[in-house]
Chains A and B, each alone.
Chain A
Amino acid sequence: MTDDGPAGAVAPAGRRLSGEGRARGLLFEVARRLASMVLTIFGVSIIVFLVLRLLPGNALTSALGVSEGLLTHAQLVALDHYYGIGEPVIQQYGSWLHAILTGNLGVSLQSRTSVASLVGTALPVTFELAIAAMLLGLLIGVLFGVFGALRPGRAVDVTGQGVSVIGLGVPSFVIGTGLVTLLASVFQYFPSSETFASLTSDPWLNIQQIFFPALTLSLGIGAAIMRTTRASVLEVVGQNYVRTARGKGLSRHSVTWKHIFLNAFIPVLTMSGIQLGYLLGGTVIVEQIFVLPGLGRLLVESINGRDFPVVQSVTTIFAAGFVVVNMVVDVLYAAIDPRIRNR
């Protein structure tokens, strides 16, 4: 996702190496990517920091909910000093970075609790939601994509195409709102009305509460993955080696998944990586609709309350997660495709 130049420069050297040498080349490649990833996250934190400091209003007074007039000048100065507002921007960034690196994410201006504990309770919810949505999306996308491409124009394909039109064109907040209405009015089913149960405390309720938000998110992802899978599989199906595999009398199952799907998988993986950005943005909206106490909800609440320490940390965490996952996708290419691995 970042620069491809040095990666290309490494490849020719790797081609001549074998065994131990290649492992070392791979190690070097991973180290280079890690370094680039850390740099990117560092840059992201600067962008987030700068954008949030452009604010015209005074975060302090809006957060305290008191008009400035009620406070004496000395009190204001003391508070400014406490929150580090009067210092030069670089110094503010420096102390924030230092605090973050030592595991201290600051104190929420609204709830007066540590940002770390807020994030600690919210992160697992969003993580679970994102994983569930991605799995559902892959399931929908890959199944409809593969079987649709194998029987173009038939019922599975037409159904898949229909689902993909809905998934691509209908925003997740419309799907979510519609789904909540449907569940409540037709089935009198309100999984979100009870307080959120974690996976460990009440697994059955937790699955009910996560399933519908995840389904809402997965339609968009699934549609994109389906289109990519379908196109990619259609390309592979016509290849000679597929005909050979069929001619050898291999089982249909083996041909479909080992010969066709694995060869068609790289574009699907790329698309899944791209969809993660959508997924992270989507969790913000879906958590709002289904009242899930995740990072997205925390973010929107803190934006509304101008609670900058929380906004800053949550955004940086979101972006860091996005960067890390993109790197994992890059590494997965090599793990899945021997042609890339042995380059």
Chain B
Amino acid sequence: MSVTGLGSAPALPGELDAAVAPVGRRGLVRALWHSPNGRVGLVLVGVVVAAAIAASFGGTPYDPQFQNAAALLQHPTWSHPFGTDQFGRDVLSLVLDGLGVSLEIACLAVLIAGVIGTIGGVVAGFLGRWTSAVIMRVTDMMFAIPAILLALIVVAALGAGWLNSAIAIGVGYIPIFVRVVRGPVLALRESGYVSAGRVLGFSRRRLLFRHILPNVSGILAVQTSLALAWSVLAEASLSFLGLGPPPPTASLGEMVSQAGSLAAIAWWTLAFPSVAIIFAVIGFNLLGDGLRDAIDPRTRKP
């Protein structure tokens, strides 16, 4: 039922057995490919990631910031497949570059949210009552601020910039990781094999890293994919509002914002950056749904 990735509930203890049922690595990819969501998601993410990596290594047809005064606002042609903008820059190169920046920021943001959120969730689920209560209270309060708003005030405090965008978006997503991880950890702590390990005298660290974390990895993978979708969207929203990394850093959200006044005469300046954002957002969302289907056999369609 994942819709925005923000509304997904953590697995209930009862759902856990299915949620953690291990699927072999090869089985996972096959299951992913066989679910329609997963297949479309894989393809879209593949295209987007390939484009972003190419751009990061300078694989754009033109220098994205090169302003060709002889080619202002040109229609898409063979030499400029996505046309040119009002400064004569090649839109394809700008889109590729922006996609690269966007994915870099999203990955860093998800890394921040994932690491802090997972630690928070594990600590809240595995350690004592007091720590748990404090962490969950703080999480509740962060939840009371809509994630994009949380990102906005972090940008307000830190100022706009590449790193600050990533921090802001990451902070916004932390509470979701905490909730998603804590539920299963709480249930796993009481499960038969963890109790058995405890009786055998395994250290807490061993229980945590060898017996609990591996069983949360599936849920983490799903959440990471959904978080990436949200982060790309949030990054684009921030830079659309003029609160992203300042120029000359390319940014899809800023391109859409600039194109607003041009789109009536030059549709390509609006269409292509928009499509890039949409591909990335839908791709990661579908990949997350597909991963969920693949990991949880009950939702997998025959």
Kindly name the residue among B144, B154, B237, B253 whose own CB sees the greatest number of chain A CB atoms within 10 A. Answer: B144
Cβ-defined contact, A181 with B144, below 8 A: no
CB-based nearest B residue for A173: B240
A to B CB contacts below 8 Å, 17 in the list: A41-B144, A43-B144, A48-B153, A54-B158, A55-B156, A173-B237, A173-B240, A177-B259, A223-B3, A278-B6, A280-B146, A281-B149, A300-B243, A303-B156, A304-B242, A322-B145, A326-B144
CB-based nearest B residue for A303: B156
Mark contacts of B188-206 with chain A using CB atoms, 8 A cut-off: 1 yes-contact digit, 0 otherwise.
Answer: 0000000000000000000
Chain A residues near B140: list those with CB within 8 A: 1-3, 40, 43
The distance in angstroms between the C-alpha atoms of A57 and B159, with both chains bound, is 9
Interface of chain B residues 258 through 287 with chain A (CB within 8 A) = 259-260, 263-265, 270, 274, 277-278, 281-282, 285
Minimum C-beta distance from B126 to chain A (A): 19
Cβ-defined contact, A174 with B277, below 8 A: yes
The distance in angstroms between the C-alpha atoms of A52 and B156, with both chains bound, is 7
On whether A311 and B148 interact (CB within 8 A), knowing A168-B3, A169-B281, the answer reads no
Inter-chain pairs besides A2-B140, A311-B153, 15 sampled, C-beta below 8 Å: A43-B144, A47-B141, A169-B278, A170-B278, A181-B270, A228-B3, A231-B1, A277-B6, A277-B147, A284-B241, A285-B240, A300-B152, A315-B152, A318-B145, A318-B146
CB-based nearest B residue for A323: B144
Minimum C-beta distance from A191 to chain B (A): 16
Chain A residues near B141: list those with CB within 8 A: 40, 43-44, 46-47
Cβ-defined contact, A171 with B236, below 8 A: yes
Asked whether any CB of chain B lies closer than 8 Å to the CB of A184, the reply is yes
Chain A residues near B14: list those with CB within 8 A: none
Interface of chain A residues 64 through 101 with chain B (CB within 8 A) = none
Asked whether any CB of chain B lies closer than 8 Å to the CB of A340, the reply is no
The distance in angstroms between the C-alpha atoms of A228 and B9, with both chains bound, is 14
Minimum C-beta distance from B159 to chain A (A): 7
Interface of chain B residues 144 through 193 with chain A (CB within 8 A) = 144-149, 152-159
Chain A residues near B282: list those with CB within 8 A: 168-169
The distance in angstroms between the C-alpha atoms of A280 and B270, with both chains bound, is 25
Number of interface residues of B (CB under 8 A): 48
Cβ-defined contact, B152 with A181, below 8 A: no
The distance in angstroms between the C-alpha atoms of A224 and B6, with both chains bound, is 12
Mark contacts of A118-155 with chain B using CB atoms, 8 A cut-off: 1 yes-contact digit, 0 otherwise.
Answer: 00000000000000000000000000000000000000
Chain A residues near B243: list those with CB within 8 A: 300, 303-304
The distance in angstroms between the C-alpha atoms of A313 and B73, with both chains bound, is 43
Which one, A181, A278, A300, contacts B263 given CB within 8 A? A181
Minimum C-beta distance from A260 to chain B (A): 19
Asked whether any CB of chain A lies closer than 8 Å to the CB of B7, the reply is yes
Asked whether any CB of chain B lies closer than 8 Å to the CB of A236, the reply is no
Minimum C-beta distance from B253 to chain A (A): 7
Minimum C-beta distance from A295 to chain B (A): 11
Chain B residues near A224: list those with CB within 8 A: 3-4, 7
Chain A residues near B33: list those with CB within 8 A: none
Asked whether any CB of chain A lies closer than 8 Å to the CB of B137, the reply is yes
Minimum C-beta distance from A33 to chain B (A): 13
The distance in angstroms between the C-alpha atoms of A242 and B221, with both chains bound, is 40
Cβ-defined contact, B152 with A299, below 8 A: yes
Chain A residues near B155: list those with CB within 8 A: 303
Asked whether any CB of chain B lies closer than 8 Å to the CB of A9, the reply is no
The distance in angstroms between the C-alpha atoms of A281 and B149, with both chains bound, is 6
Q: Chain B residues in contact with chain A, CB under 8 A? A: 1, 3-4, 6-7, 136-138, 140-149, 152-159, 233, 236-237, 240-243, 253, 256-257, 259-260, 263-265, 270, 274, 277-278, 281-282, 285
Cβ-defined contact, B1 with A54, below 8 A: no
The distance in angstroms between the C-alpha atoms of A20 and B242, with both chains bound, is 57
Minimum C-beta distance from A153 to chain B (A): 16
The distance in angstroms between the C-alpha atoms of A322 and B144, with both chains bound, is 7
The distance in angstroms between the C-alpha atoms of A173 and B254, with both chains bound, is 11
Cβ-defined contact, A54 with B157, below 8 A: yes
Cβ-defined contact, B144 with A171, below 8 A: no
Chain B residues near A3: list those with CB within 8 A: 136, 140
The distance in angstroms between the C-alpha atoms of A40 and B157, with both chains bound, is 22
Chain B residues near A41: list those with CB within 8 A: 144
Chain A residues near B242: list those with CB within 8 A: 300, 304
Which one, B149, B159, B277, contacts A171 given CB within 8 A? B277
Chain A residues near B278: list those with CB within 8 A: 169-171, 174
CB-based nearest A residue for B232: A171
On whether A285 and B144 interact (CB within 8 A), knowing A171-B281, A227-B1, A311-B156, the answer reads no
Which one, B145, B236, B264, contacts A44 given CB within 8 A? B145
The distance in angstroms between the C-alpha atoms of A174 and B241, with both chains bound, is 12
Mark contacts of A1-22 with chain B using CB atoms, 8 A cut-off: 1 yes-contact digit, 0 otherwise.
Answer: 1110000000000000000000
On whether A40 and B144 interact (CB within 8 A), knowing A55-B158, A169-B282, A311-B153, the answer reads yes
Chain B residues near A315: list those with CB within 8 A: 145, 149, 152-153
